[in-house]
Amino acid sequence: MIQLVRTFRTHRSPDRSVLRTPEGDPRKRQHLPLISLRPIDLRRAHPEGGHLSSIATLHPVPASVGGSLPTVKPHHSLPTALQRACLAAKTAADNKGQDVKVLDLTGITPVFDYFVIATGTSRRQVHTLVEEIDATMRSVGDTRMSVTGYESSKWVVQDYGDVVCHVFAGDTRGYYNLEQLWADAEEVDWQEELE
């Protein structure tokens, strides 16, 4: 069995990843190749041809196996990024999220396609919005890659690759003012899109 071990300061390889086998001396590390995904590869791997964040799953390739690398099979039943962003916005509105917006960033940045922005009135409501949005996204086949800010509950960011959901608490939304920061982005009428 092979385990992926992350080292940060003790190992100086370019990708900072090493593989270690549980057999033998754990201080001796065996270097095996990893699949390296560049951003263009990530876009091709996405079922809708959209943009994924920098988070990717690395799979070890055993040294004894030669030939071609494993291919990523797209999940064809996943709704488009716009449909998923609108579903996340509807979920936020259904759970009494305030000032729910969807911003179209497809022509502005290659990193993601849509922002969903909502405000909760309390810590509990922020948590509810985050959990309900995640449940909705999972129900249509999407997987959350990461969540940030859940503990502090001031600004919770959920990354679904091409859709990023921002749930703010009270004054935090006005302070960071994402709508102004991304002023070139068009606002999507998510209610009309869902009809």
- Report the CATH number at residue 91: 3.30.460.10
Full domain range(s) for residue 176: 81-194
Residue 5 within a domain? no
CA distance 51 to 41: 10
Question: Can you give the pLDDT at residue 68?
Answer: 54
Q: Which residue from 135, 125, 155, 159 is spatially nearest to 50, judged by alpha carbons?
A: 159
Residue with tokens 């922005």: 117
Question: Can you give the pLDDT at residue 77?
Answer: 81
Question: Can you give the pLDDT at residue 42?
Answer: 40
Residue 63 within a domain? no
Q: How many domains does the chain have?
A: 1
CB atoms near residue 194 (< 10 Å): 11
pTM of the predicted model over 0.95: no
For residue 161, the 8-state DSSP code is S
What is the amino acid identity at position 73?
K
Cross-strand pairs, 148:
157
Residue 8 within a domain? no
Question: Can you give the pLDDT at residue 194?
Answer: 86
Question: Can you give the pLDDT at residue 135?
Answer: 95
Q: What's the N-to-C CA distance of the chain in angstroms?
A: 50
Residue 24 within a domain? no
Residue 174 within a domain? yes
Residue 115 within a domain? yes
Cross-strand pairs, 62:
none
Residue 20 within a domain? no
- Hey, what are 73's tokens? 């099979």
Question: Can you give the pLDDT at residue 134?
Answer: 95
Residue 183 within a domain? yes
pLDDT tens for the chain, residues 1 to 195:
444 444 333 333 444 444 444 444 444 444 444 443 334 344 344 444 444 444 444 444 454 545 555 555 555 588 999 999 999 999 999 999 999 999 999 999 999 999 999 999 999 999 999 999 999 999 999 999 999 999 988 999 999 999 999 999 988 999 999 999 999 999 999 999 888
